[in-house]
Amino acid sequence: MRQVAVVLGALGLLAALVVASASCLVDRKTGEFACASTAECADGRVCTGGFCIQDTAPPDADPGCPAPCDECDLTLQTCTVDCGVTDNCDAVTCPAGFACDITCGGSNACDDIDCTEAASCLVTCDGVNACGNVTCGAGTCDVTCSGVQACDVVDCRDACECDVDCDAGDDCQAARCPVPTSGQGDCTDGTPAGCDSTPAKCERTCP
């Protein structure tokens, strides 16, 4: 019996050592990486879930901004989209409720631009075929098209205020302007493809 007790005791000690060794292999989050904000983190880490972790986001991206914003202010709900000369942003959709500033600078920089859910949109299409169709929502919409066929159809019929500026007659295929609130008058700017929100006869105002 004494030998059995000794054997059992040895087995128990061995099991305890195995458990202790295994616990040493567990990757524990230590107090060294505890944080309340990213300002407390070092080495490019960000504070997530109370601990400093490596930031895997691309260095030129703001991880807090919704796509396709390059820069944003989540409090003011503003969004900047910059499609440079060498970039092709494909289709661009302004996030719902945001005020977007979208620049398509260069040939074929962007495809269609959708601002139907936006609070407002400022769109600059500068270059040959810089943009496809531009569709505005109920907010203010300001579109500048500069370059041969810089824009296809600019549709801002639902906008409370809309200004479409085509530098030359062939810079836009067409602009569909808002109808005055009274159902009479004109919100065009007198060119084949332009809209103007300023004339009194346009009779439309934003909330």
Report how far apart, in Å, the C-alpha atoms of 180 and of each of 121, 142, 191 are: 20, 17, 18
Looking at the DSSP assignment, which residues form a beta bridge with residue 104?
83, 125
The tokens of 73 are what?
A: 């202010």
Residue range 71-87, pLDDT digits in tens: 999 999 999 999 987 66
pLDDT per position as a tens digit, 104-153: 998 999 999 999 999 999 999 999 999 999 999 999 999 999 999 999 99
Query: Is residue 140 within 8 Å of 161, Cβ to Cβ?
Result: yes
List strands edge to edge, sheet with 172-176: 92-93, 113-115, 134-136, 151-155, 172-176
Pairing of strands 71-73, 78-83: antiparallel
The span from the CA of 56 to the CA of 45, in Å, is 9
**Each residue of 25-37: pLDDT tens digit?**
444 345 677 887 7
- 23: DSSP letter: H
The one-letter amino acid code at 53 reads I
Distance CA 206, CA 198 (A): 12
pTM score = 0.69
